Amino acid sequence: MTSPDAAAAPDTAAAPASRRWLTLSVVGLAQLMVVLDNTIVNIALPSAQADLGFSDGDRQWVITAYALAFGSLLLLGGRLSDLIGRKVAFVIGLIGFAGASALGGAAQSFEWLVAARAAQGAFGALLAPTALAVLTTTFTIPKERARAFGVFGAIAGAGGAIGLLLGGVLTENLDWRWNLYVNIPIAVLAILGALVLVPALHRHGPRPRLDLPGTVLASAGLFLIVFGFSRAETDGWDSVWCWGSLIAAAVMLAAFAFWQTRAAHPLLPLSILRDRNRAGSYLTLAIASAGMFGVFLFVTYYVQVSLGYTPIQTGVGFLPLIIMLVIAAQLGTNVLIPRLGPKIMVPFGLTVLTIGMIYLTHLDLDSQYALDIMPPLMIIGFGMGSTMPAAFQGAALGVDRQFAGVASAMANTSQQVGGSIGTALLNTLAANALTDYLADHQPPTPAIAAEAAIHSYNVAYWCSAALFGAGAVLLALLFRRRGQGLSLAHVSRRGAAPEGSAEPSDEPVIAH
């Protein structure tokens, strides 16, 4: 397959190294902005509710509106970045995300805030896969690529914890609205950097068409998955909105897969999913995102509700996790992944995560931070840092450059769908455990209620541990051995897939 961007042109790798690393900083800012918005608004929600006066039943839509728009439009956003160019898509995504954040910060009603959050999700769906595609096409030297994806994976993994820390600081010291306004200066810096650093791609030959039927089927299917699991979280699994949405989603996605085998210009060529390492990378991101909600969600509830931590103390408490994640990400990408490959590193990282989750089940009402809480958070941070970079490297590696955007979008889709499933499942299991514990321990005194909450958190930790453990076994079988097919650490200097790969990666024309 010949990329429409392909032509005799200067090699991307020939650009000055300083320019490539500055480009990474721009991409990192964009990725951080998108990822931390998954958690930073959670901290602001109680204050926003008190200010705007919406009900507890409506509260979930501030979170769900973002997730629905983001999750359902990711494949479209990734494909648009392939069609209109990375630079244009990146800048549009940044401007739109900043504008939606400004509108949300200025919200004077619940409906206004929800609409702004949906707009954030829509522009985030364009920005997130474009950022990963820019990184994929900028770093073609294997050693540099590994380091760049180590940083990117660390940002993706730590963004949730950073959101909790930043959200606590902004909410306590300024106002809940600054949890949205904070995106504006970040976006401005990223826009200025993108205009200078991100190369423009000049396409030769006819412009590929957008697969409209595939776009509709994929977007509707992803929307219904996220919506169905969000309804399970609030209405229970017996809700018609829950299982009806999930059944409809399965039908839509099956129709989408069928159509992709016949479309002249498929939105997602199924060959992208046939590579075992790439499929393993997507599955890794889904499992990691699903299980990590057991950390960010329930540990946050535990330290704030059960132990009485302030939002700032909660955010600071996650710093050891972030530090260990960054250390493990750099160690993995520079030393371990090139030597061991994803077949060993991903199961290793998931096994470490399993251990960290089991460690969390020992927390109780008398636990101390330094002795009881910090050690498992550090273990979990090391596990995430060992897992995420390898998964992100494999997400778009070796894909024809005209499909780098949509392949990158699959990575973000895996995270979003995994997170939605994880939130619904873990919340449901924890809520059922809480109810059963209270039913078995009468009368429901405050002490019993506190113990019931601890029990419900432990159920979530055990379920996350089981998910990570099963994922470690499954992915050890799915990933190929080193030297067998496409290797994450051995891509030619020009970014082409190794000999024998069915997916060449041509160099685009670069215009700085």
**Does residue 440 form part of some domain?**
yes
At 377, is the pLDDT very low, low, confident or very high (cuts 50, 70, 90)? Answer: very high
**Does residue 4 form part of some domain?**
no
**Does residue 512 form part of some domain?**
no
Structural domain harbouring 65:
12-210+267-489
Residues in Cβ contact with 360 at an 8 Å cutoff, skipping those fewer than 6 apart: 294, 295, 299, 376, 457, 458, 461
Could you tell me where the DSSP H helices lie in 275-363?
Answer: 276-296, 298-301, 311-317, 319-331, 337-340, 342-360
**Does residue 125 form part of some domain?**
yes
pLDDT in tens, 457-491: 999 999 999 999 999 999 999 887 764 444 444 43
**Does residue 104 form part of some domain?**
yes
* Residue from 154, 262, 136 nearest 199 by CA: 136
Residue 284's pLDDT is 92
Residue 17's pLDDT is 62
Query: What mean pLDDT do residues 417-428 have?
Result: 81
**Does residue 243 form part of some domain?**
no
At 206, is the pLDDT very low, low, confident or very high (cuts 50, 70, 90)? Answer: low
Residue 27's pLDDT is 86
**Does residue 224 form part of some domain?**
no
d(CA 419, CA 437): 26
Question: Using alpha carbons only, how large is the chain's radius of gyration in Å?
Answer: 22
Residue 480's pLDDT is 78
Judge whether residue 7 has pLDDT over 60. Answer: no
**What is the domain count for the chain?**
1
Which residue shows structure tokens 């990666």?
A: 505
Instruction: Work out the angle between the directed axes of helices 17-52 and 86-105 (0-180°, nearest 10).
Output: 30
d(CA 323, CA 157): 11
Query: What mean pLDDT do residues 388-411 have?
Result: 75
pLDDT in tens, 259-268: 988 887 788 8
**Does residue 229 form part of some domain?**
no
pTM score, two decimals? 0.77
Residue 489's pLDDT is 40
Neighbours of 109 (CB within 10 A): 11
Strands 200-201 and 510-511, by their bridges, are antiparallel
pLDDT in tens, 173-185: 888 889 899 899 9
CATH value at residue 402: 1.20.1250.20
